Structure formats: structure tokens, C-alpha cells
Amino acid sequence: MALPTKDLIDLEFLTAEEIMEILETAKPMKDVLKRKIKTVPALRGKTVATLFYENSTRTRLSFELAAKYLSAGTCNISSSASSVAKGESLQDTGRTLDAMGTDIIIIRHNMSGAPKLLGEAVNARVINAGDGTHAHPTQALLDLFTILERKGQIKGLTVTILGDILHSRVARSNIWGLTKLGAHVRVCGPPTLMPTEVEQMGAKVYYDIDEALEGADVVNVLRIQLERQQKGLFPSIEEYAKCYAMTEERLKRAKSDLLVLHPGPMNRTIEIPTAVADSAQCTVEEQVTNGVACRMALLYLMSGGGQDE
Ligand code: CP
């Protein structure tokens, strides 16, 4: 089964079956990562470009490694080191990549909607690697994969997404993916960081962290996005941490097998103290590995799933 649209903008536009196909394809990809020689020829002759207008460690590097492990040609463009800095438009940059024969463009942008705009301007397939506060579909895929691998299922689980929901593209994409796969989704954070549309997306809103964690199987702790904050959304960082940090005490009170996810990068002094971040229940490094496998699966499926071979 091929994915339904040319571009991957968000999990909102995929069915549960299509999401599951990506997760199932990621399983053998993870096996490839465990081999001594990690390269397979699935994308030989294809070219993948990463076009990042915003900083990234995990997403950019894991897409680049995923493409390399599948034997694709890769190139990386950052806005500061390209003609974007001279005023070139997103569409013209995309058309330039098209003219050079790029098959897949991975884009991160600080403006919500930029990947959709790029996809409409180019022939290459476009993958959203995070756009503003809108969506981060591949982060949600790797989070789903991690939950599935650790818990054996997603249907029926209670998953709490904790923190700065308002500015979080990770939260939005996770809500789409988790609800489509049958999880009960709770979102918890200060009222000023809670967008109105989350309930319509199928999540239940909590403002009290202890209530939100009671009986939860998974908590996904979000980074407090200081770079996107407007002034006055909470009194102070200390106050925020007191009310909403995933502390060791809260971990002890929760279900003994509570899984703690964090998309990274972590603020260890704010939302997740070191004792929890480095605990056996926290999957942050596992998520990074799974991110490479999920992105290999997506690149493979978006390149025709081996049909060219
Ligand atoms: N989780 C995530 O998107 O991390 P980066 O910003 O480092 O890519």
C-alpha cells in the first residue's frame, strides 16, 4: 500500500491502517540498524534533501542517517548557509531542488503551513519535519512506535501529554496518531498553555497533574518552548516546574510501569529532572533510535516501497 498523498504534512491526513503500515515497516528497519553493516540498497539512485529553516539535532540527523542507511544520495541545506539568506523564496528554493532531480525534500520551518506551501510548488515529495506550532508527524510516529514496542499495543492505553500544549506541534501530531489508534488521550498543562481545539481533536483536558497521571500508562513530557512563549503565560519557570514538572515523587505515585516519553531536547532543570530523565522508565534515547527506523520506513514507502527495484 502506498501512502495516499504526495506529501506527508501530518498524521491527521492518514488512516489508522496507513499509520500502522509505517510502524510495521519500521520494525525490519530497526533490525537493519542492529546489523554490523547498516546499509541496504532500497533507495539507491534516489536523492533526499533536508531543508531546515529552524534548528534541529535529532530530526535532521536521523533523516540524513535514515536516507544514507537506505543508500540514497543526501544533501543538507540550512537557511543561514544558502541563498535563503539572500532573500530567495521557499518556492524558488524548492524548485531549485526539483531542477536538480531531488526526489524527497524534508522541511522544517518556523511558520505553520510552510511544508504544504512547498509541496504545492514542487514535484518532489515533501515530508514535514516540524512546522511552527502546527505538526511534527515523524516525531509522533516514533513516539507511537516506542509505545507499541514497549506496551505491545496502543488501543485502550491512557496517554497523558504534559506541559506546553499551546506551542507544541508534537502534542498535536501525537493526539491525531494516538486517537486514530484507539488510545485515551489526556492533555495537561497550565490553562494559559492549553489551546481550545484539543478537546475537538479527541483529548481530555486536565489542569491538575496528579489527576492527569492517575492510572496513566504513558506520559509524554513536552519541552517548555521558551523561544515561542509570549510574555505572561505563567508566573515564572520555578512556578511552572512546581506545578507541572514530571518529578521523581510524581513518578513514584504513578503506575509502576508508567512509560515516560520526551521528544527532546530536554530542559532537565524545568520539565523533567535528571532522576526521571535517566530512569529505566524514560525512553528518550530509545525514541531517538526508533526515530531513525521510522524515518527509514517512511522514506522507503514514499519512494514506492521497493517497487522500482
Ligand atoms: N524532537 C525534535 O524534533 O528534536 P530536534 O529539534 O532536535 O529535531
- The residue with greater pLDDT, 215 or 304, is 215
Output the pLDDT for position 2: 67
CB count in 10 Å sphere of residue 77:
18
Given ligand 1 and candidates 52, 57, 164, 285, which is best to mutate, with the most ligand atoms within 8 Å of its CB?
57
Distance in Å, CA 170 to ligand 1 centroid: 10
Question: Given a cut of 50, is residue 307 above it in pLDDT?
Answer: yes
* Average pLDDT estimate for 208-229: 91
CA distance 187 to 207: 8
Q: Which of 53, 108, 139, 271 to mutate to test the pocket of ligand 1 (most atoms within 8 A of CB)?
A: 139
State residue 81's pLDDT score. Answer: 78
Q: What 8-state DSSP symbol labels residue 231?
A: T
- The rounded distance, in Å, linking the Cα atoms of 145 and 290 is 7
Mean pLDDT, rounded, of the chain: 94
40-43 long-range contacts (CB < 8 A, ≥24 apart) are: 40/69, 40/70, 40/71, 41/70, 41/71, 41/309, 42/70, 42/71, 42/300, 42/303, 42/306, 42/309, 43/67, 43/70, 43/71, 43/72, 43/299, 43/300, 43/303
**What number does the ligand 1 atom closest to the CA of 108 have?**
8
Closest atom of ligand 1 relative to the 291 alpha carbon: 1
Which residue minimizes the CA distance to atom 3 of ligand 1? Answer: 59
The Å distance, Cα 253 to ligand 1 centre, comes to 29
The model's pLDDT over 244-290, given as tens digits with 9 standing for 90+, comes to 999 999 999 999 999 999 999 999 989 999 999 999 999 999 999 99
Distance CA 187, CA 95 (A): 39
Query: Minimum mean pLDDT among 80-89, 125-134, 174-183: which range?
Result: 80-89
Nearest CA to ligand 1 atom 5: 56
Ligand 1 atom, smallest distance to 57 CA: 7
How sure is the predictor about 228, in pLDDT bands with cuts at 50, 70 and 90? low
pLDDT for 219? 98
For 146-197, write each residue's pLDDT tens digit: 999 999 999 999 999 999 999 999 999 999 999 999 999 999 999 999 999 9
| Confidence class for position 309, pLDDT limits 50, 70, 90 | very low
Give the helix ranges, DSSP H, for the chain.
16-34, 58-69, 90-99, 114-121, 137-151, 169-180, 209-213, 237-244, 248-253, 274-277, 284-302
215: alpha, beta or left? (left if phi > 0; alpha if psi -120 to 50)? left
Pocket-forming residues, ligand 1, beta carbon under 6 Å: 56-59, 130, 139, 263-265
